[in-house]
Amino acid sequence: MPINPVSVVVLAAGEGKRMRSNTPKVLHPVAGRSMLTRVLDTANALSPQAIYGVYGHAGDTVRSACADYTVSWVHQAEQLGTGHAVAQALSAIPDDHQVLVLCGDVPLIRATTLQALMAQADGAVGVLTVELETPTGYGRILRDADGTVIGVVEEKDASPAQRQITEVNAGLMCLPAGHLREWLSELDTGNAQGEYYLTDCISQAHAQGVPVHTYACPDPWEVQGVNDRAQLAAVERACQRRQAHALMRDQGLALADPDRFDLRGSLQVGRDCFIDVDVIIEGDVVLGDNVQIGAFTQIRDTHIAAGTRLLGHCQIEDTHIGEDCQVGPFARLRPGTSLAKDARVGNFVEVKQTQVGPGSKINHLAYVGDATLGAGVNVGAGTITCNYDGKRKHHTAIGDHVFIGSNSALVAPLEIGNGVTIGAGTTVRDNIAADCLAVDDRRPRQVDGWRRPGESVVDRHDSDDDSTAKGVR
């Protein structure tokens, strides 16, 4: 680390026209977090004296999206170039600081790379570079015969020979504030874009004998900028790959395919967890040991204890799932749900704001909302808690070892005692005491010789339009 205190300037004034979006460019998310807050997190990891954010458009939106961060905001009313942008922040920065310039639209830069850059600069100038096979669009690093950096030339100002140079300016650099102040004051707009170029400071440093050091970024994705949706998608994939590999390496997570895994938040896993393809993890998710997640599942802000299996196609949000449970396929667990040990929730079941006791089962086609279920409850297929009267939500309390027959409607508020049995197809409107049977024993009425409107019995049997059968007849 350099001895000089560091002030970080994050450039974020560009409009981002090519995104064709109403959202300011730097607020577009990469792996669930805005590019700008990613850069601010990285800046904070360097423990700088201060962070300056240079914004131009949609200042209120940008500032409020970064409300959790300590940033000194600086307005750049007109985008007159990167040199002009840095100058807006510089008046507040003391001469003995190192100024580290970052870009709000270069989100994957690592703190370790910036530390290496500043160590390399050693109080003088440091330029982060990258070798690109196709350097089109970037500023090229100019060196003399000895290899000393003498300047940076922008693509649009470069001669055909200079355009052959594949060592480019990544756009991130650090410079001593005192010198930078002087260099910026001498910039002019005599270039192809009519802008104040920060990069022109490099030739000034060279002219004054201030050493210019470079640090070659080992991973080109770290310095990939985002100007359009295609680059945003590419950076998203790179970030996802980085996260997937970190999870496999650091936490021993087994991923069926690291290229088909999306983490938009944080994931902590125990030993021997497995995640199948096309799973999306959002918010803060924790998995215990030996948890298996089936394909095409989305999990947000959820804790899943050891030994639990999620089959495919589940939607899980803000839920706590105990040990050795089985959920899915096609289950939806909505906020406020908890499943105790050994519980089961099967296909086409929706559970909301409900505590399911140990060993209880809701295996098929049910809606259970605003309820508590004791231990060993069996909820039959087609059971519905009628929790909503059109205005308010009501609670259903179900005791231990209750057996609910298929297609029952439980009209809340309702209390069902321990050991109750509910016959299939029962609409339960009143509380039921422990160990009783609730049954709706209205039998279907049989009407003999029934004809459907306009139909004779003969018509009905004819209607199965099967020509071979007709041939036999």
To the nearest whole angstrom, how small is the minimum distance from the Cβ of residue 222 to ligand UD1?
12
- As measured in angstroms, the least distance from the Cβ of 7 to ligand UD1 is 16
Q: How far is the CB of 53 from ligand UD1 (least distance, A)?
A: 10
Integer Cα distance of 38 and 222 in angstroms: 12
Task: Give the residue with the Cβ less far from ligand UD1, 168 or 422.
Answer: 168
Q: Please give the angle made by the CA atoms of 120, 124 and 128, to the nearest 5 degrees.
A: 50
Percent of the chain as helix, strand, coil, to the nearest 5: 25, 35, 45
C-beta closer to ligand UD1: residue 74 or 121: 74
Contact 85, 105 (CB under 8 A): no
Locate 388 and state its tokens: 């909503």
364 is catalytic: yes
Q: Match 């050493």 to its residue by tokens.
A: 211
Give the residues across from 300 on adjacent strands: 282, 317
SS (H, E, C) 268-297: EECCCCEECCCEEEEEEEEECCCCEECCCC
- Minimum distance from CB of 317 to ligand UD1 (Å)? 35
Of 158 and 316, nearer to ligand UD1 (C-beta) is 158
CA separation, residue 258 to residues 261, 263, 284 (Å): 6, 11, 19
Shortest Å, Cβ 299 to ligand UD1: 34
The catalytic residue among 364, 394, 395, 461 is 364
Instruction: Give the nearer residue to ligand UD1 in terms of CB position, either 198 or 310.
Output: 198
Asked whether 360 and 340 are in contact (CB, 8 A), the reply is: yes
CB nearer to ligand UD1: pick between 82 and 353: 82
Amino acid, single-letter form, for residue 245: H
* Minimum distance of ligand UD1 from residue 391's CB (angstroms): 50
As measured in angstroms, the least distance from the Cβ of 27 to ligand UD1 is: 12
Which is nearest to 193 in space by CA: 153, 235, 252?
153
Q: How many Å apart are CA 223 and CA 172, to the nearest integer?
A: 8
User: Which residues bind to ligand UD1, rule: CB under 6 A?
Assistant: 11-14, 54, 76, 79-82, 84-85, 103-105, 138-139, 152, 154, 168-171, 197-199, 225
CB-wise, 171 or 346, nearer to ligand UD1?
171
Contact call for residues 406 and 440 (beta carbons, < 8 A): no
Give the residue with the Cβ less far from ligand UD1, 131 or 259.
Answer: 131
Which residue, judged by CB position, is nearest to ligand UD1 in the bound state?
139
**DSSP β-ladder status, 298-300 and 279-287:** parallel
* Measured distance CA(145)–CA(175) in Å, rounded: 24
Task: Classify 428 as helix, strand or coil.
Answer: strand
Tell me which DSSP letter residue 432 carries: B
> Residues 249, 266: contact at Cβ < 8 Å?
no
Which are the catalytic amino acids? Answer: 364
